[in-house]
Structure 1
Amino acid sequence: MNIQQKIQNLFQNRDEHPLFYIESGSRLWGMASPDSDYDVRGFHLPSKAQYYDYRQHRDLIEIMDGDFDFVSFDLNKMFGLLAKSNPTVLEWVRAHIIYFNQFPEWDKFKDRLLEEVDYKALYYHYLSLAKGGMNVMQVADNFTYKKVFYSIRGLMSAELATQQIMPELLITELFEQIDANDPLLHWAEDYLEIKKQQKEKAQVPEAEQIQILKLLNAKIEILCSRKIEQTNDIEKLKNYLTEYSFNLKQHFYG
């Protein structure tokens, strides 16, 4: 699938300016199944007419076309989430699979942004993601390898956030950041290749389910016993995003 061409075709009949699009989800994390979708995420700039219009325009574009799953936020929505150190959009910014990028001085912007991240926001997001995945997997016919690895990834990322370490996106590189003696890591390393070979809805054998739940719950108990404080200056981050937004809009709108 030519993702770049699909993005260009999508914006041919739209007024918005495409800015930045990446692959997210399991393909970005290096744990895609044979039938995984292409989860394309990113953000756009409203047209000049939309920007100056007194009427409010939708800040989201969503397209689902077969296995092409496309979501785009407008710049203001995206920057609003970045101001809160939203881990999901931070992953988009950090993604190594980039399909489209029209941001001026992108690397400089990204590096400065990551210096201002609040690790407390990352901790709570990834912990909540893991718990949510665990709740879903315990419902009938939902104990899939996909859900297990999403929970593992969330817990490992939350643990690193408590140490103010940015979690790697690729699952194998994330594993390298974790203590080699961690029993959850041992299970994950053994089963990652099995997960990659299974379809999205493939179930973990029942005999393994109790073991993995014990490992996940043990990790949650450890993480919940830790305290983490806000690690950034929120006003400094907001000011930086405001300045960059102003310059970016000047660049495109003139």
Structure 2
Amino acid sequence: MNIEKNIQQLFEQRQDIPLFYIESGSRLWGMASPDSDYDVRGFHLPSKAQYFDYKKHRDLIEIMDGDFDFVSYDLDKMFGLLAKSNPTVLEWVRAHIEYMNTFPEWDSFKQGLLECIDYSALYYHYLSLAQNGMKVMQVADNFTYKKVFYSIRGLLSAELALQQDMPALLITNLFAQVDANDPLRIWAENYLDIKKQQKEKALLSELEQVEILKQLEIKRTQLAAKNMPKSNHREQLYQYLTDYSQHLKQHFYG
């Protein structure tokens, strides 16, 4: 699939200005199944006419066309989420699979942004992600390799955020940040190749389900008992985003 061409054709039919698009989800994390979609995410700028129009324009573009799953936020929505240290949008910013990037001075912006984020937002997001995945897994015919790996990734990422350590996006790099004797790391390393070869809805055996659920619950309980303080960089983050937003709009709108 030619993602760059798909993005180009999409914006040929729109007034919006495309800025930045990446691959997200399982392909970004290095644990895609043979039937995984292409989850393309990113940001756009309203056209100059839209920006100065008194009418409110939608701040979101969503396209689902076969395996092409596309979501784009406008710049103000993006910055509003980054101001809350939104972990999902931060993953997009940190993504290593880029399809398009027209942001000026992107690397320096990203570096400054990551120095201001609130790790507590990451901690609670990833812990909640894992907990929800564990609940869904225990419903009939839902104990899939996909949901197990999503829960493992969530718990390991929450543990790193608790330590003020940025969780890696690529699952093998995430493993390297964790103790080599961690039971979840050991299980995931042993099963990663199997997961990649299975379809999205492939189920674990009953014996495997019991084993991994026990390890997930131990880690979840340990993390849930921790106290995660909020960041003291919020005002600094707000000002940083305000300054860069003004810079971008001057750059593109003149």
Q: TM-score, normalised by structure 1?
A: 0.99
Question: Which residues of 2 match residues 161-172 of structure 1 at below 5 A?
Answer: 161-172=161-172
User: For residues 169 and 34 of structure 2, what CA distance do their matches in structure 1 show?
Assistant: 19
Partner of 1:248: 248
User: Secondary structure at 1:218's aligned position in 2?
Assistant: helix
**8 Å Cα contact 1:117-1:232 kept in structure 2:** no
Q: Which amino acid aligns with 1:148?
A: V
User: For residues 204 and 45 of structure 2, what CA distance do their matches in structure 1 show?
Assistant: 43
User: Secondary structure at 2:43's aligned position in 1?
Assistant: strand
User: For residues 221 and 207 of structure 2, what CA distance do their matches in structure 1 show?
Assistant: 23
The two structures, once aligned, show a CA RMSD in angstroms of 0.6
Partner of 2:132: 132
User: For residues 117 and 81 of structure 2, what CA distance do their matches in structure 1 show?
Assistant: 12
How far is 1:137 from its partner?
A: 1.0
Answering whether residue 156 of structure 2 is matched by residue 156 of structure 1, we say yes
Runs of at least 4 residues off by over 2 Å: none
Question: Which residues of 2 match residues 152-231 of structure 1 at below 5 A?
Answer: 152-231=152-231
Answering whether residue 40 of structure 2 is matched by residue 55 of structure 1, we say no
How far is 1:233 from its partner?
A: 1.3
User: Secondary structure at 2:64's aligned position in 1?
Assistant: strand
Identity %: 74
- CA-to-aligned-CA distance 1:145-192 (integer Å, 9 cap, x gap): 000000000000000001000000000000000011111111111111
Q: Which amino acid aligns with 1:9?
A: Q
Please list every run of 5 or more consecutive structure 2 residues that lacks an aligned counterpart in the other structure.
Answer: none
Question: Which residues of 2 match residues 13-52 of structure 1 at below 5 A?
Answer: 13-52=13-52
User: Secondary structure at 1:207's aligned position in 2?
Assistant: helix
User: For residues 89 and 127 of structure 1, what CA distance do their matches in structure 2 show?
Assistant: 17
How far is 1:44 from its partner?
A: 0.2
- CA-to-aligned-CA distance 1:32-86 (integer Å, 9 cap, x gap): 0011100000000001111011111100000000000000000000000000000
Q: TM-score, normalised by structure 2?
A: 0.99
Q: Which amino acid aligns with 1:213?
A: L
